[in-house]
Every structure is written in structure tokens, then in C-alpha cells.
Amino acid sequence: MKTQSSMLHVRMDTELKQRATAALAAMGLTASQAVRLLFHRIAVDQAFPLELKVPNAQTRSAMAEVDEMVKSRAARFASADEMFAELEEAGNQ
């Protein structure tokens, strides 16, 4: 008995697709087979097969800072030298 199938369309960066497709080919898998395998594991385990973590407070703060810098189009440091100087200072504490 043949089961009904459906299509899944996914947009992604072309370079990422090429690199992943090459890696999958080396494993003997097509992209379609890899996606079916991923979905099979999710359905069977009722979980995503990779460890996903919620960002901690420090990471969330850094992400918010980056979002604000992007919105305001302003960098945190005026130069790379200023950035490295602060990193050096932070490393010495």
C-alpha cells in the first residue's frame, strides 16, 4: 500500500546548501533523504535530534546590544584597537 506524500520547500543560502549537499553525498545521502531522516527522528523521539539551548542572561544581553547597534547603526567601539584594548583589560581582571 502506497502512502500519500507531500512536498516541503525550504529556502536557504546557496553556499550553505552546496556545502551541506557535498557533505551528505560523502555520507551516501541526498538532501531529501537527510530531511526525511530528520523528520523521522523528530516524529519517533518527539524531540529535535540536536541539543538546543536557551541563551543565558549574558548571551541575551549581548544579543540585545547587537540589535540596538544595528538599529542605531552605531558600533560599540570606534576602532579595532579600542576593542582589543577593552578585551585586554577585561582579560587582566
pLDDT in tens, 26-84: 999 999 999 999 999 999 999 999 887 888 999 999 999 999 999 999 888 889 999 99
* Domain of residue 44, CATH code: 1.10.1220.10
pTM over 0.85: no
Distance (Å, whole) CA 20 – CA 26: 10
The residue range of the domain holding 85 is 57-91
Closest alpha carbon to 89 in 74, 61, 81, 64: 81
Same domain, 31 and 66: no
In total, how many domains does the chain have? 2
- The amino acid present at 25, given as its one-letter code, is A
pLDDT of 93: 81
pLDDT of 51: 84
What are the DSSP calls for 15-74, one per residue?
A: HHHHHHHHHHHHTT--HHHHHHHHHHHHHHHTS-SS------HHHHHHHHHHHHHHHHT-
